[in-house]
Amino acid sequence: MKPFSFLVVADPHYFAKSLDAYGTAYEEFMDFEQKCYAETAAINDAVFEYLKNQTRADVILFSGDLSFNGEKASHEEFSQKLKDLQDSGKDCYVVTAGHDIEPNPFAYDEEHGRKPVEGIRFEDLYDYYRDFGYDKAIAFNQKYLSYVAQIADGVRLLVLCNDSPEKRNVAYTDELMDWAKEQAKKAKADGQIMLAMEHYPLLAGQPILQLIPDARQKNSRAVIEMLADNGVHVCFTGHMHNQSINVTETPNGNKFYDICTGSIIGCPAYMRLCTLEDENTLQVTSIPVPEFEWDTKGKSGKDYMQDQFERMIRSMITGMKDNPAKLLGKFGAGDKKALFGPVKKIGKAMSTWSVGKVARLLCVKAAPEVRDMPFLELAIGVVRYAFEGDQPYVEGTPAGNTILKVFGRLKPVFRILNKKLHGSQGETLDFYELLKHSAGNYGISDYEATLKF
């Protein structure tokens, strides 16, 4: 086969220019928001202009959450942007997701605060996005808005949507699993390479995210084995707004890669350029979101979005010490009562202590380079890099060595937590290893990689 290149865009979360996003209630909402909101149209405008003018790939995949929260006006404007992009000569394929059919979409202004706006139904999604995958498909399952497209000679794309009119991020039904398995087998029999795209990660972006029920696809292990054992070794995902490339192997010895791409409207803001070199090799590179027209207070777009991310983390740390149950509830872990006490204590320490003080309290010695650093700043870095990927706090670095010493002293606490807590899909956890590999990347680069199937 000839090398084939394509682009991946995740979580555009387009918010219509005709809707409001400002005021006191809006700012309070943004205290706990990773992604930009009022700025989304400006960011998408810049991304779509880049996509139109770039010459590296004509096929573009959009891996879900096309609108901010399912606003009808957002779908109208975003589908028009896709049409304009396709009219320019690009070939667009989408999957929809939970934020595209939120039951109660909203906007903000100063007079009304949070106010309802018109949304759409699950059944309406076909009419908005039929030109961007569904009607081009060689196999279309309209019940699940899932399809197979021939995106190049010898290359097929399996697009899976597991949302429904009633629920978001549900476990795949036997019916959808059987349909997907049939399509994978058919591709293999036809001598086609098949890639997959769905919105929810099949592998947790970072080990710590295994604790969060909504951080990955329900019954993900079964989906991975169904795909990989039938010749589908790569899936492009989004949802968690993190930049990660993870790999696993099925009991039958087949590799499977989950490539999660950060949202274009929040830190980390990247797209992917992928090249299928041959039937066993995928080259992945990352492209930063271009600068966009907005008052960023003199900062680059990257720094502007990073500041919003850090604003969210600071608000969360305040929430850790003041109301851990409420904070954990925002991540679907409000029932993990064993975490309440430790989270509250950690939140208090983060707010006032230095790295050296935290280390001394646990009878370990912090590296001189980080001893006087506010613990809050190190904590923000750890969290931000867990989303940005290629986390730098590895063994052999001053911060990494200090963090691992602290984790080492906490092993007795971790052993207790290991007995009480499991991953969101029932896995047994090793908290030390989980935190070690969330603070530092010891595996595949999350940005530039050559993947072998």
Q: Is the distance from CB of 237 to CB of 63 less than 8 angstroms?
A: yes
pLDDT above 90 for 334: no
CA 276 – CA 194 distance, rounded (Å): 11
Q: What is the mean pLDDT of residues 407-422?
A: 92
CA 197 – CA 237 distance, rounded (Å): 6
Question: What does the domain layout of the chain look like in residue ranges?
Answer: 4-293, 301-443
Buried b (16+ CB within 10 A) or exposed e, 248-273: beeeeebebbbbbbbbbbbbbbbbbb
CA 376 – CA 321 distance, rounded (Å): 13
β-strand pairing of 255-260 with 232-237 = parallel
pLDDT at 241: 96
From the centroid of its chain, how far is CA 110? 31
pLDDT above 90 for 285: yes
CA 348 – CA 351 distance, rounded (Å): 5
Tens of pLDDT, residue by residue over 235-281, are: 999 999 999 999 999 999 999 999 999 999 999 999 999 999 999 99
Tens of pLDDT, residue by residue over 39-70, are: 999 999 999 999 999 999 999 999 999 999 99
Confidence of residue 352 (pLDDT cuts 50, 70, 90): confident
> DSSP state, 416?
H
Tens of pLDDT, residue by residue over 81-134, are: 999 999 999 999 999 999 999 889 999 999 999 999 999 999 999 999 999 999
Q: Is the distance from CB of 290 to CB of 281 less than 8 angstroms?
A: no
Residue with tokens 């990347």: 441
DSSP 306-325: HHHHHHHHHHHHHHHHH-HH
CA 15 – CA 42 distance, rounded (Å): 10
**98-112, 210-224, 297-311, 329-343: the lowest-pLDDT one:** 329-343
**230-244, 321-335, 359-373, 409-423: the lowest-pLDDT one:** 321-335
In which region does residue 13 sit, left (phi positive, over 0), alpha (psi from -120 to 50) or beta (all else)? left
pLDDT at 315: 86
Confidence of residue 372 (pLDDT cuts 50, 70, 90): very high
pLDDT at 420: 87
Tokens describing residue 233: 């070794």
Confidence of residue 340 (pLDDT cuts 50, 70, 90): confident
Confidence of residue 304 (pLDDT cuts 50, 70, 90): very high
Q: Which CATH superfamily is domain 4-293 in?
A: Metallo-dependent phosphatases (3.60.21.10)
CA 45 – CA 107 distance, rounded (Å): 20
pLDDT above 90 for 437: yes
pLDDT above 90 for 165: no
pLDDT at 166: 78
How many CB atoms are closer than 10 A to CB 443? 12
